[in-house]
Amino acid sequence: MAIRVPRGVTRPTTDFVRQAVFSRLGVRVEGAKVADLFAGSGAMGLEALSRGAASCEFVEMNRAAAGVIRENLEKCRLQGGAVSQQDVHAWMKRASGRYDLVFADPPYAKSKADRDHVRELLESGRAGSILTSGGFWVIEQSSDWPTLTAVDLECVDRRDYGGSAILLYAAAGEVAA
């Protein structure tokens, strides 16, 4: 089923990249508690719910995009989705839940002067605290940017797909299978 994408405020993950991510995650999605940060249309979280995730919290600051996510949840008749319309960094400071999968697809930093959301998330010292044991952060960034180190996570996989890179992070010290 085709989902609605908010105009002018998002850069949706391509179908090819989304399928590659979920192929890599495999059965880890079933029953998972998911957070979809910088959710845009909600495509990643919607895909997770359609593949058996128990729940997904969509975090999106843009009012129009948050409304589109709500519409997409209703249109797809998926249960377990909740939309939080707020800034992701503010949400991270208050997040008390723990998630099996955290998707983050922030606006790409195109120059050194742009806000680097990926760096902020990874250097916050909070990224690992919201993961369950064995959980993963799945971050999409420009393939032009290097793999960043994190305070409490380690990158266990990086795959480039054209202009996008998908980085898989686990809690520091945990070995990914």
15 in a domain, yes or no?
A: no
Owner of token pair 């800034």? 87
Predicted pLDDT of residue 11: 54
Range of the domain at 69: 28-171
Predicted pLDDT of residue 119: 87
Helix axes 15-25, 43-50, angle to 10 degrees: 40
Residues of the chain with pLDDT under 70: 1-13, 109-111, 174-177
133 in a domain, yes or no?
A: yes
144 in a domain, yes or no?
A: yes
177 in a domain, yes or no?
A: no
Instruction: Look at the chain and report how many structural domains it folds into.
Output: 1
What pLDDT, in 10s, does the model give residues 90-103?
999 998 889 999 99
Predicted pLDDT of residue 83: 97
Q: What is this structure's pTM? A: 0.89
14 in a domain, yes or no?
A: no
176 in a domain, yes or no?
A: no
Predicted pLDDT of residue 124: 87
The rounded distance, in Å, linking the Cα atoms of 29 and 129 is: 20
Predicted pLDDT of residue 8: 58
The rounded distance, in Å, linking the Cα atoms of 139 and 165 is: 8
114 in a domain, yes or no?
A: yes
CATH of the domain at 96: 3.40.50.150
What pLDDT, in 10s, does the model give residues 19-46?
999 999 999 999 999 999 999 989 999 9
Q: For 64-81, b where at least 16 C-beta lie within 10 A, e where not — what string? A: ebbebbbebbeebebebb
153 in a domain, yes or no?
A: yes
